[in-house]
Amino acid sequence: MESTELLDKLINVDPVTDPEKFYSLLWKKISFLSTRESDRLMEMSATARSISILHLAHHNFAEGMTFVHGSDFSNALISLEKALEGFISTQNEGGKMAAYTAMCICYRSKGQLDKAQNVVQEALQYAPAIRNDNIYIFFKGVAYYQAAEVNVEIKNYNSAIEYFNAGIKHTIENPEMHGRMLNGLGVVYMNLEKWDDAILYLEKSLSDPLTQNNIMLKAKVLSDIGIYYFRQKQFEESFKYQEESLKLRLETKLLSPAVTNYIRMADLCLAGGKIIDALKYANLAVEQSEKMKLHIKLYESYEVLSKIYEALGDTENAFIHYKNYIRVKEGVHSQEVIRKIEELKNQYKVESAEQEKEIFRLRNVELKAAMDEIRESFRYAKRIQSAILPPEELINKLIPDSFVLFKPKDIVSGDFYWLKKTNDKILFAAVDCTGHGVPGAMVSMVGYNCLNKTVHEFGLTQPSLILNKLTELVEETFVHKDFHYENSEDEIKDGMDISLCCIDLKEMKMEWAGANNPIWIIRKNEFIEIAADKQPVGKYDHRQPFTNHKLDLHAGDSIYLFTDGYADQFGGPAGKKFKYKQLKELLIFTDTLTKKEQQTILHDRFEDWRGNLEQIDDVLLMGFKIP
């Protein structure tokens, strides 16, 4: 139906005497209206706002949706908040569901994913009870769609699939959402690299007659199919779909979605070696993202700009835009935001379970108490382990430009870091004990105490002598000299890999020894690796004394100690290990940044690589810049 016909139909309905019919029809048509038509209908709606609190809420919501479709999300939120107050006051649950859903669209577009998750879960609390004759039934499917899209943003793809499939059942009164759900499933399967399922759902969505009649949806599906062909390295085919999508969006003034086209076309041009065209599209993406405050798209725009300047050999601009990428992305996808999202999601699930399965919950009171006790034990163990780690203030005091990236796989860790100052010498180590979780943490406590003993009781500062003595102490702890084990399985052979460094900043000297783990030094773009002895600390059949390495330090040297958790993490497009080669390249690329900036990049790169895969081991990476 053409927009002029829609307007003719709507202007014959009086929002004062028949608000249900007027607004029910408006929600179905609002995305098809031109600015002039939308303004006319808002004038009609305004005539009814003084009738009652509910009439005013309807009008505020309509106003908010007009701002949403115009990508003016800040003003949209103001109107939607007013609408929500009216719906709460009149106990209109359909209105509350719709208002929370529309607010989710705004927060998602602004990159505030924690708030988006919060409001969409509020919407889903009301959605199941909304009947087909409700004035806001149109937004029931939209609520599930938005919940799915938020989970796509945080790469929680299994939950996204659940919400899309649940939402398909609620698209009778909003048939257009059926195509959107199919498209959403196609995108998720594409992210999971299930290519056959991906193109099946994407093409189903594109062929849907309602998709063809909805320019906004058609443009999105075309763009997503373009992404599919990009990932298949069919660049010409991909560009054709992106170009068609962009044309539709610009013709209909869908400026926010058009930014996505600019980003994708910049990527395509870069991949095809068309650097100047890539730069043009990337700059358009940054310009439009900044203008509309689309933070979630702005960091992607900066990222592709950084890649383009790197391809041009302009390392200065590549760094500038990479730092902008990290800065904006940290605000959108920080671990604190993701943690809040998961907490809100889990809170919603728990509350729903308590309401719907009270009997089941009561039957499991004893189990819950036991689990609470276990969790409390773990939390206490974490506090104990955290207490032995050197505080950040001490590390920064001794070597100001430094970082420690520490990510335990479980609540407690088999990796730990250690630092001691004795006279003018600073000793620090990255230690990887056998196992992770509780067993690894128990071995780490032994390692920590034994390291302290080598310094405080035996007065050692030479790294090789410390590792030799540490081996003796660990073996004494785990192996009783006066007892012979008849069964070799009963003998504890736990130990640790370690990289141990001793620096003297006055003399600018360094000594180092390693058990299986090396040390890396970056000096004015020169990469230096000192290999470790191929033996662990602890029981080992072919034990040799550890080698002590000595070298001079230079101002500006970067020293890196690490365990194997970062390099061994599976992820990326093919689900492969990150590997030491890629870690080495990342450290060289970011070495000119401050160590805190470098830590942020390393953290984000690890999380991006891991995606939705499980972290397989504890992660520890330490970096120090010699002043």
Q: Dump pLDDT digits (tens) for 372-399.
A: 655 665 565 666 667 778 888 888 899 9
Low-confidence ranges of the chain (pLDDT < 70): 1-10, 16-17, 19-20, 24-38, 41-42, 173, 331-385, 435-440, 478-494
Q: What b-and-e string marks burial along 450-489, b requiring 16 or more CB atoms within 10 Å of the CB? A: bbeebbeeeebbbbbbbbbbbbebbbebbeeeeeeeeeee
Tokens linked to 225: 């199919």
Tokens linked to 400: 């100001």
pLDDT at position 391 is 85
- Whether residue 140 contacts residue 130, with contact meaning beta carbons closer than 8 Å, is answered with yes
Label the pairing between strands 519-523 and 526-530.
antiparallel
At position 398, the amino acid (one-letter code) is: L
- The Cα 69–Cα 106 span in angstroms is 10
- The Cα 520–Cα 554 span in angstroms is 14
Q: Dump pLDDT digits (tens) for 489-507.
A: 444 456 789 999 999 999 9
Q: Is the dihedral of CA 67, 70, 72, 77 positive or negative?
A: positive
Residue 167's nearest CA partner among 127, 216, 109, 222 is 127
Tokens linked to 295: 């933070």
- The Cα 471–Cα 314 span in angstroms is 50
Q: What b-and-e string marks burial along 513-534, b requiring 16 or more CB atoms within 10 Å of the CB? A: bbbbbebbbbbeeeeeebebee
Furthest C-alpha separation in the chain: 99
- Whether residue 546 contacts residue 468, with contact meaning beta carbons closer than 8 Å, is answered with yes
Tokens linked to 426: 């600073």
Q: Dump pLDDT digits (tens) for 145-193.
A: 999 999 998 888 999 999 999 888 887 767 778 888 999 999 999 999 9
| Cα 564 to the center of its chain, rounded Å | 22
